[in-house]
Amino acid sequence: MKKLFISQPMRDKTDEQIEAERNAAIKSAKDALGETQIEVIDSFFKNAPHDAKPLWFLGKSFELLSTADVVYFCKDWEKYRGCKMEHEAAKQYLEDTGVRILHYND
């Protein structure tokens, strides 16, 4: 079973909006891969420390990203610095190891 990491903008979005976008990303990734079973890596930090800074979130994301078989970048990822850094890390460190990189509308 492939492990899916979802990179998505979360700033100024409600939990419901984030969850809906994640569900759409999961469906899109399954369709692109022709897979029915995918293990989703939980990168939505609902219980993050109250005073967590953006770099804390990015560090946790990189740790989880390193375990992915597939990385999916949601709509507008290129407009958010965290997503851009996750994309660069995926391109530099994962793509040549066989990790598949998918983008919204692929």
Express each pLDDT in 43-63 by its tens digit. 988 877 888 898 999 999 999
Domain of residue 82 covers: 2-103
| pLDDT tens-digit profile, the chain (106 residues) | 999 999 999 989 998 999 999 999 999 999 999 999 999 999 988 877 888 898 999 999 999 999 999 999 999 999 999 999 999 999 999 999 999 999 998 6
Amino acid at site 101: I
Q: Which of 46, 42, 12, 14 is nearest to 26 (CA)?
A: 42
**At 53, which CATH number?**
3.40.50
pTM to 2 decimal places: 0.92
Which structure tokens are listed for 51?
């005073």
Domain count, the chain: 1
Question: Residue 76, by phi and psi: left (phi above 0), alpha (psi -120 to 50) or beta?
Answer: left
Q: How many CA atoms lie within 13 A of 36 on its CB side?
A: 0
